[in-house]
Structure 1
Amino acid sequence: MRNLLLTLLLTSGVTNANAGECVNLNSLPSSNIDNERLIIVSESIALCPQEEIILGVRFKLKASNITLDCGGNTFDGTIPSTSEKTSRALDSAAALEDVTIENCVFKNYQKGLLLTPATLGIGGADYTTGLKRFRVKNVAVRDIGVYDANNPLGGEGVIVGAYSQDFLIDSVVVENTRLSGIYLEAYSVRTRVANSSFIHNGFSGSASGREAIAIDASSENVISNNLFKDNKYAAIATYKNCGEAGVTRTMHANDNLIERNTFSYHDNYNGGAAIIIAARQAAALSGCSDDAMPGYGNRYFDYSRHNVIRENAFVNNVASIKVMDSFQTISGNTFHGTSWNDLSDPNVKHKLVYDAVVGNAQLAELGSPVIGVSILDNITRTSTTNVSGKTFVLNHGAAAAFAGNRDQNYHCLPEEKSPGNACAELETLPPPNRCEVAVTKCPAHPRENWLDATYGSNVIQSTCAARARQLWDWCRLDDSDSYSVTTEFFRNNVSLETTTYNGAKR
């Protein structure tokens, strides 16, 4: 069902459930601001579907307890008769609550959905002005930001503003944003991002780029059941922004849960990873109002603790998890790393693949190395499928507790792969959920034949089916038609679903 929904979004074919009660866009009052058509939304609106793409329109939400149903229409931010982009797809007044945005496609805007009071910075906002219980459902946001190096305007797909509470972002597609796909601003709490896809975000032109989801001094968020593919610096980065605009963040990026997602092909060779915890630890920064690390003139502490990364699938990332602050839990994940061809340049091959690296040099030098990291019950194929042989790496005096970590055959990992690792002797059965992969004559794979590879521990059924499509996409890099990809999902050793793709075409 989810895959069908995303397909509909990609073709802008979401059907408006209230078509019998819909209104025509041209019947709505609007104003013209710098050639942008601004529509104020002060009551619930269900737009009638129309075949043509709608140019140069943006929305502003100005009331609580309303729904904006776009009727599956596609809004293109290109301003008619110009090459300029509309400043944003949508923004909001302050102190709104219980608002739903659904069945929309937005593309070619400078910025996407600004779910934050446009006139209030962090210093001027609080929990009385912040937004509450917003729902973004069945929405696609694509091609956001101006990529001209001389005019680098905007580029976030969705901004959850400062002091926001209890947001749900469900069944969205965020693709090709110049900056972060979703940005969770300081002091926002309890945002849930679920059942969504994040593809090729953060390619801003800088060496490191940005992440698909930024968690900036925001806490108690849940990121679950999503697909992350080919994003730049990271899929998810947690950090505390360093006194930006002179406002010190007292909330840290703590107590976030990242579970049951698939992370693949992240272009993170420049110090990034699929998930980065405390991403700005000891970074050299300018314009920061925080106190610097003792002895470091322009390096600062970052804070992100008590986060849980569990039951995710990591596939073909240069690095899967990077941890630079203490007291984290990494459990029940599957790591299927391998050397792989860069999606944007097949001549670039990345081979130094690892599952998790823990530690930070500056913290170690200050006598406070990263400690209290629990790495439990993970399954890895990484050490058998890439030339580095790396699995879990502890650097700079970092301390982690290992238990129950196993290879693809469910054998306990040895000391050199998982220091101090211990597995229960009677734990001999595969986990209740698993996904078996069979790939025949995959042209992109260095061994060509890749048969009966076990992928998964605690994976969900939809993730197993999605894996077949991902591998098929990867194998067809040279458009060969001589291969097939099959995944089979098991629960308690009972086969429940088989998914197959054949050759160069679906």
Structure 2
Amino acid sequence: MIYNKFAIFTKLPFISLMLFSRFSLSEMLCELPTSLKGNITLNKSCIYSGGLTIADSYTSLDCNGAEIDASKFKDGILISSKGKEIKNITIKNCKIKNAIESGIRSSWLGRDTNKSKELNRYLKTPHKIIIDNVEIIKSGKNGIFIDDYSSFVTIKKSTIKYSGSTAIYIEHDSKNNIIDSNLIQFNGYKNDFPRREAIAIDSSQHNIIINNNFINNGLGGIFIYKNCSEQIHSGKQEIRKMHSNYNVIEGNHFENEKIGVWLASRQNKNLKKMDCGDEPIDIERFYFRDYADHNKVINNFFNYVKVPIIDFGKENNISGNVIN
């Protein structure tokens, strides 16, 4: 067979155009809608730049499988109340990668000391939030941050991997949040060194953690504690009044974790350098009473977990768990 080299060269532009079109259709860089309110559906073939803010109630964001590149932004998606009521928010079918801090953050931004003075602070902080079928990869700090006074946040059927700190952080005075049927894997490592647990419940009550898979996270699976009102003299913090009580940890699978569930995880930690506002339990001010009481850790499965459950709290119900 004799090849016509001129014929081959004449076809190159056409071949190049085909390859460019194929690449463009699968990974187009697209602009976000100017207004994120109401019902928004993104183009599944797009990569969007992060830094999205949702600040209006009754907003539904369906990413439709599209990717949000948050590598230049503090948060991939911020649900921000700005001190006014915001509720009934849905975020679904998103792929959020490389946020500097959090993939998704639910917050009334500002000093804790200012918010605590508001009588209606739970109405003025995001509530009734649904995060469904979302994939969050390589956040610099937290995969999802549920900030203080947020409530009724549901995270379900989602995947959170490779967060530099926790996969999910539930901040003080938040309550009634649900973490259901998620894959939480390889979080809590920095430079391959284990530094945090998968889920932190810090001075928060009435949360339900159910039917999730925890696999190979840095320090462990779920740590429940009340911190000692750290950095109290900074003027930005306040004495934490809510204890981490009445949480339910049920039906979860823990695989290859150092610690599965740790109740009152700050109880035996030297906190001398944390500038605590609470009253110490020793003369040297090293140790502080950690409140993680009246919690339920029931019917969980622990496979290749070094220490399945540590309980330094009071009156916790630990039953029906299977250790392999």
- Normalising by structure 2, we get a TM-score of 0.82
Looking at structure 1, the residues matched to 88 and 66 of structure 2 have their Cα atoms a distance apart, in angstroms, of 23
Q: Give the aligned partner of residue 247 of structure 2.
A: 256
Report the residue type matching 2:267 in the other structure. Answer: Q
Shift of 1:294: 3.0
Q: Of the candidates 97, 101, 107, which is equivalent to residue 91 of structure 2? A: 101
Residue 236 of structure 1 aligns with an amino acid whose one-letter code is I
Structure 2 residue 172 is matched with structure 1 residue 172: no
Structure 1 stretches lacking a partner, 5+ long: 1-23, 30-39, 79-84, 146-154, 337-506
Q: Cα deviation per residue 1:258-303 (whole Å; 9 max; x = unaligned)? A: 111100101x2xxxx1110001013211221111113232221110
- Which residue number corresponds to residue 314 of structure 2? 326
Alignment of 1:313 with 2:306, yes or no, is no
Report deviation, 1:135: 0.3
Given the two structures, how large is their TM-score scaled by the length of structure 1? 0.53
Number of aligned residue pairs: 280
Shift in alpha-carbon separation, 1:139–1:322, aligned structure 2, 3 A: same
* Partner amino acid, structure 2, of 1:121: R
* SS in structure 1 at match of 2:157: strand
The structure 1 segments of at least 4 consecutive aligned residues displaced by more than 6 Å after TM superposition are none
Matches within 5 A, 1:100-499: 100-111=90-101, 112-117=103-108, 119-125=109-115, 126-145=121-140, 155-204=141-190, 209-246=195-232, 247-266=238-257, 268=258, 273-285=259-271, 286-336=274-324
Separation in 1, partners of 2:73, 2:32: 21
Deviation per residue, 1:155-211 (Å, 9 max, x gap): 111011111111111111010100110011111111010010100111135965111
Contact 1:67 1:101 in 2 (8 A): yes
Q: CA deviation at 1:321?
A: 0.5
**Distance change >3 Å, CA 27–CA 66, structure 1 → 2:** closer
2:54 pairs with 1:61: yes
**Matches of 2:181 and 2:174 in 1, distance apart?**
21
Instruction: Say if 1:53 and 1:76, in contact at 8 Å, map to a contact too.
Output: yes
What root-mean-square deviation, in Å, do the aligned CA atoms of Structure 1 and Structure 2 show?
A: 1.8
For 2:32 and 2:189, the matched residues in 1 are separated by 38
| 2:249 maps to amino acid | I
Q: Distance in 1 between matches of 2:73 and 2:262?
A: 32
Alpha-carbon distance between aligned partners in 2 of 1:211 and 1:96, rounded to the nearest angstrom: 30
Q: Name the structure 2 match of 1:45.
A: 40
Q: Determine the structure 2 residue equivalent to 1:34.
A: none
Tell me: higher relative CO, structure 1 or 2? Use CA pairs within 8 A at least 6 residues apart: 2
Equivalent position SS for 1:123: helix
Is the Cα–Cα contact under 8 Å of residues 38 and 59 in structure 2 kept in the other structure?
Answer: yes
Alpha-carbon spacing, 1:98–1:329, altered in 2? closer, same or farther (3 Å): same
Contact 2:30 2:47 (C-alpha < 8 Å) held by counterparts: no
Alpha-carbon distance between aligned partners in 2 of 1:256 and 1:26, rounded to the nearest angstrom: 41
Give the letter aligned to residue 224 of structure 1.
I
Instruction: Go from structure 1 to structure 2 and tell me whether the alpha carbon gap of 1:27 and 1:290 turns closer, same or farther (over 3 Å shift).
Output: closer
Instruction: Return the alpha-carbon distance in structure 1 between the equivalents of residues 113 and 220 of structure 2.
Output: 28
Contact 2:182 2:211 in 1 (8 A): yes
- Cα contact 1:168–1:192 (8 A) shared by 2: yes
**Mind listing any 5+ residue stretches in structure 2 that lack a counterpart?**
1-28, 116-120, 233-237
- The Cα of 1:25 is off from its aligned counterpart by 4.9
Q: 1:331 deviation in Å? A: 1.0
Q: 2:31 matched to which residue of 1?
A: 26
How far off its partner does 1:133 sit?
0.5
Residues 92-125 of structure 1 show CA distances to partners (whole Å, capped at 9, x for unaligned) of 22231110000100011112111112x3232222
CA contact (8 A) 1:215 1:237 kept: yes
- AA partner of residue 184 (structure 2): F
- Answer whether contact 1:72 1:105 (CA < 8 A) is retained: yes
Could you say what secondary structure the match of 2:188 adopts?
coil
CA pair 255-205 structure 1, distance change in 2 beyond 3 A: farther
Contact 2:161 2:167 survives alignment (8 Å)? yes
